[in-house]
Amino acid sequence: ASLDNARHLSSLLRAVHFQDHATCFATNNGLRVTVEDAKCIQANAFIQAEIFQEFAVQEQTVTFRINLSVLLDCLTIFDTSSLPGTSTALKMCYRGYGYPLMLFLEEGGVVTVCKINTQEPEDLLDFDFCSTKVVNKIILQSEGLRKAFAELDMTSEVMQITMSPDKPYFRLSTFGNAGSAHLDYSKDSDLIEAFHCNQIQTNRYKISLLKPSTKALALSCKVSIRTDAQGFLSLQYMIRNEDGQICFVEYYCCPDENITEEM
Amino acid sequence: MRFRAKIVDLACLNHFSRVVNTIAKLAKTCTLRLTVSKLYFILSDKVLNGGVGMWCELNQGNFFDEFQMEGVSAEHNEIYLELMPENLSRALKTAHNAKAVKMKLTNKHCPCLRVAVELPSLSSSSRIVTHDIPVGVIPRRLWNDFREPSVPDFDVSIYLPALKIMKSVVERMRNLSNYVVIEANLSGEMNLKVETDLVCVTTHFKDLGNPSWALEDGCQSSQDRDPESMAEARIDIRKLQQLLAGQQVNPTKALCNIVSKRVVHLILLHEDVSLQYFIPALT
């Protein structure tokens, strides 16, 4: 694969970088990078083939596990984020099972070659979250949520999300040392682009698992929040890159089970 | 032993502060050598034992408006002081608007470098902030420890790439490994390589140019050298990163001498300051 501007890839990968390891899937459609933690949360970054200047996959799917921290250090080796107007050109090659991932990065005549060892892909969670099972769905402009997420009371163990056809419509709550905090969004608010709530649902999620999604939120222009009957949460972020192309990052999260209810 | 100096010009003061800041980033403690015409900041961490060496030379006339120095004796008209450059750096931080900065060697209770910063004030009397920086006077018998290191019989001498790019690359490589291999040849090529179990990263710099003195008969070992052949040294990446991170201004000339598998000698030249840094190679 080749990319004129490595930032198109590195900024998206940063948005899912909350663990050292990630699994990469390459198909004809593009690249998907998945990061998981504690069997409760999964983040996926999708970079379609169209974003790349060149994207070719020999087999149906190519899968490997890689150290995401190392990959990001390599992709940002020239740190051009601090120099506006310049960008690093990238070429990636993967020969197959057992081979390392090769990266060729070029910036102003200087070339860096990276060879990153890959590992066996591990089994990943399948949240089985499909649109037909969605109970509630809200699409908001990200700027509305950014401040809320940046200021989350981290002394609270959970974040509670309430979605309802009646008041309070959409509420984010935390229960921390200083007390509980509630942030309400009215369904008529300008920030809300779509509001489809059929029944009232209140779910709690471990705040430490959701905090990394703030990175994706910061990059995005829109976010869709969906829950299914079991309370599984899907956050989908629409991200526009420097060239105006659209990419998606998704976070899936299990609801937090109360200790007493655990089986 | 007497020393008095004064800086009045704001540009000179800022320049001097920047130099001191750079030194402070490179060494916790170092030696300040004062002669009639120059100041030197010296670190000679016993390069033989794997420590780094630093030699920074300033022409006093380019910085100070007044400079009076009387050394240990007429025969040895120099002063050697041990100090923590961070203390001097901090004192100068308060001086960014100053009307004048005076420095004086005193010995009230113990030897100190007294830095008096005269700040602008609305009233007729000026405000003076004084910092007393403790110093150690280094006796003459130890002066030999601080001689200027001779330029080593290097294998390759090459100009460094743009420090900004080098700094960024080295910073990222620092996350990957504690060691980096620097290699360069007489065809203007330099590579930085990091190799661990997880990853190998090599950055290739081209068309850097080699200083002409490398090709003169001054240095025998590099004369008969194949221009493509690389001289290499494996060094502690943190030392290199410290040097690059401390650079606040782009040098007029920056070059690097490599003695294969022994030492990397970096020279950064500004108009009125020269900084040499020696990093030993590790096996």
In this predicted model, what pLDDT tens digit does every residue of A80-89 receive, in sequence order?
665 666 788 8
Q: Give the model's pLDDT for residue B31.
A: 92
Judge whether residue A123 has pLDDT over 50.
yes
Q: How far apart are CA B12 and CA B100, in angstroms?
A: 11
DSSP at A82: G
The CA distance from B190 to the nearest CA of chain A, in Å, is: 10
Angle of the B85-93 helix axis to the B10-26 helix axis, nearest 10: 150
Query: Distance of alpha carbon B127 from its chain centroid, rounded?
Result: 33
Query: Cβ of B201 and A69 within 8 Å?
Result: no
Q: Give the model's pLDDT for residue A263.
A: 32
- Smallest Cα–Cα separation from B182: which of B255, B94, B88? B255
Angle of the A68-75 helix axis to the B163-176 helix axis, nearest 10: 170
The CA distance from A117 to the nearest CA of chain B, in Å, is: 5
| B172 contacts in chain A (CB < 8 Å) | 73-74, 76-77, 79
Mean pLDDT of chain A: 86
Residue in the block written with tokens 């113990």: B110
In this predicted model, what pLDDT tens digit does every residue of A209-233 receive, in sequence order?
888 888 899 989 999 999 888 888 9
A260: confidence class by pLDDT, cuts 50, 70, 90: very low
Q: Give the model's pLDDT for residue B47.
A: 53
Residue in the block written with tokens 């509980």: A180
Query: Cβ of A69 and B175 within 8 Å?
Result: yes
The CA distance from A263 to the nearest CA of chain B, in Å, is: 40
* Angstrom distances, CA of residue B203 to CA of A78, B1, B64: 10, 51, 42
In this predicted model, what pLDDT tens digit does every residue of B6-15 receive, in sequence order?
999 888 898 8
Which residues numbered 166-185 in B keep a CB inside 8 Å of some CB on A?
A: 168-169, 171-173, 175-176
**What phi and psi values does residue B84 have, to the nearest 5 degrees?**
-100, 110
Using the Cβ of B276 and the Cβ atoms of chain A, whether some distance falls under 8 Å is answered with no
Q: Which amino acid is located at A173 in the chain?
A: S
| B173 contacts in chain A (CB < 8 Å) | 73, 77
The CA distance from A76 to the nearest CA of chain B, in Å, is: 8
Q: How far apart are CA B196 and CA A116, in angstroms?
A: 10
Angle of the B163-176 helix axis to the B237-245 helix axis, nearest 10: 140
Asked if B84 contacts B43 with a C-beta cutoff of 8 angstroms, the reply is no
Q: Which two tokens stand for residue A244?
A: 């105006």
In sequence order, the 6+-apart residues with CB closer than 8 A to the CB of A46 are: A30, A31, A32, A247, A248, A249, A250
Residue in the block written with tokens 């050598």: B33
- What value of ipTM does the predicted structure carry? 0.82
In this predicted model, what pLDDT tens digit does every residue of B235-273 receive, in sequence order?
999 999 989 988 877 888 999 999 999 889 999 998 888
Q: Which two tokens stand for residue A71?
A: 């990959």
**Quick one: average pLDDT of A100-117?**
92
Using the Cβ of A117 and the Cβ atoms of chain B, whether some distance falls under 8 Å is answered with yes
* Angstrom distances, CA of residue A195 to CA of A63, B88, B247: 37, 62, 54
* Angstrom distances, CA of residue A98 to CA of A24, A62, A68, A119: 14, 12, 17, 7
Q: Report the residue of A82, A114, A118 to disrupt the B interface, i.e. the one with the largest count of B CBs within 10 Å.
A: A114
pLDDT values of chain B reduced to their tens digit, one per residue, 283 residues: 899 999 998 888 988 998 999 899 888 899 999 999 999 999 876 655 567 889 999 999 999 999 999 988 888 899 999 999 999 999 998 887 888 999 999 988 899 999 999 888 777 777 889 999 999 999 888 888 888 887 778 889 999 998 888 999 999 999 999 999 999 999 999 999 999 999 999 999 999 988 887 555 444 555 567 888 889 999 999 999 989 988 877 888 999 999 999 889 999 998 888 999 999 898 7
Q: Give the model's pLDDT for residue B48.
A: 54
Burial of B268 (0-12, 13-18, 19+ CB in 10 A): buried
In sequence order, the 6+-apart residues with CB closer than 8 A to the CB of B222 are: B154, B155, B156, B157, B186, B214, B215
Q: Give the model's pLDDT for residue A262.
A: 34
Angle of the B237-245 helix axis to the B10-26 helix axis, nearest 10: 170
Q: Which amino acid is located at B134 in the chain?
A: P
Q: How far apart are CA A16 and CA A66, in angstroms?
A: 14
The β-bridge partners of A2 are A54, A91
Out of B173, B175, B203, whose CB is closest to A110?
Answer: B203
